[in-house]
Amino acid sequence: MRREWIISLSISLLLLAGGGWAVFYVTDYISSQLKADTVLNQAPEKTEDNGEKVPKKTKDIIYESQKLVVQIELEDGSIGSGFLYNNQGDIITNAHVVANHEKVSVMTADSKKMEGEVIGVSRDTDVAVVRVSGLKDKEPLPVREEETAELLDEVLALGSPLGLQNTVTRGEISGLNRNLSIEPFEYEDVYQISAPISPGNSGGPLLDGKTGEVIGINSAKIGKESIGFSIPIADVLPMVRKWSETPMKSLPEFPELKEQELQSPVAGTKAEQATYLVQYFYNSINQGDFVTAYSLLSSEWQEQTSFEEFRSGYYNTLAVSVDNIVADPNEDGVEVTVFLTAEETKDGEVVVKKYKVTYPVQYENKSLKIMNGQGKELTSQVDE
């Protein structure tokens, strides 16, 4: 992947993997996302008696899909995303993620590292396929083969923004049939989405928020704004299937990408990265995804607190929203202070409480982790 791709048109477009400063949306946008009610302790949806399929709940879609989304790593440290689309172990990703490489490393959701071979890549369309023999015969993500997305459809964007694997953000289809040109690729009739995406999301799947089907490949965004673009999967299926059936004998080169200035795959300052991590922690809590939230804790914290103990601490929590967040860098990492509003149940009543929590955030084995946490209650009131 390469950094700072700029269109000399009316807007400045950056390829996600090329990155830039893409984390500024976090405090305003994701904080508002956190105010939605959680879906805790609810059973997966089942089929109605009439045979019609009931839409899945968001947490079930996320749980099932995350296992089939991978992080793609190059020798230069660049990071992108991809997803399993067939039972041959083939991963769909963006061409700019694997450009000028025949071999890549693939990290699965359960932290298994495997070797992948690029078997197809387009010079014109920002799409590529990586074959991972270790994923052969694994059930792939469901793919919608017809382009049926409509304006305001709910979507989920999965990937590894800023190197944070298994990140999920929600949004809507905010535009259809958008056309962009980012050398050397042409993006024709792509989806415009409001789901926040950042460096590292490139190549990750865009899912229908109600069915969990893959409808697009997250590929580009406008500058620092929360406007992303996703290639409709139905438009490229014939091409990727051809590569899977007959892998390319020689891959096209991208000399123009070699000339791009390399930057760290994890964009943004230490404070921005730490802010994103803590925001994502509470987003996971609010969605009832305690497995992901627990995975963001340091190994020492996990040794001191089992998953069951961690999960039990939120049994009475209905919803959490982040009111304010302050990041203070220091020699060891970043100290993040969060001001929260939590809706909790007590003796059958809903109680609204305010908290102040401080988290040291540091790198552990090349991954950003929340080392520990100290909090105190500020105020509380009973909802009438």
In terms of Cβ atoms closer than 10 Å to its own Cβ (0-12, 13-18, 19+), residue 67 is middle
The contacts of residue 347 (CB under 8 Å, 6+ apart) are none
Which of 65, 101, 126, 230 is flagged as catalytic?
Answer: 126
Which of 81, 160, 202, 230 is flagged as catalytic?
Answer: 202
What does the buried/exposed string (b/e) look like for 3-33 if buried means 16 or more CB atoms within 10 Å of the residue's CB? bebeeeeeeebbbbbbbbebbebbbebbbeb
Token duo for residue 316: 């009475």
Q: Would you call 96 a catalytic residue per the annotation?
A: yes
Token duo for residue 12: 């400045």
Q: Would you call 101 a catalytic residue per the annotation?
A: no
Q: Would you call 65 a catalytic residue per the annotation?
A: no
Could you identify the residue written with the tokens 């042409």?
Answer: 186
Which of 96, 230, 244, 298 is flagged as catalytic?
Answer: 96
* Contact predicate 94/182, CB 8 Å: no
| Bridge-based pairing state of the strands 228-232 and 205-208 | unpaired
Token duo for residue 194: 């409001």
In terms of Cβ atoms closer than 10 Å to its own Cβ (0-12, 13-18, 19+), residue 64 is middle
User: Got the DSSP string for 352-382?
Assistant: EEEEEEEEEEEEETTEEEE---EEEEEEEEE
* Contact predicate 12/6, CB 8 Å: yes
Whether omega before 184 lies within 30 degrees of 0, making that bond cis, reads: yes
Q: Could you list the active site residues? A: 96, 126, 202
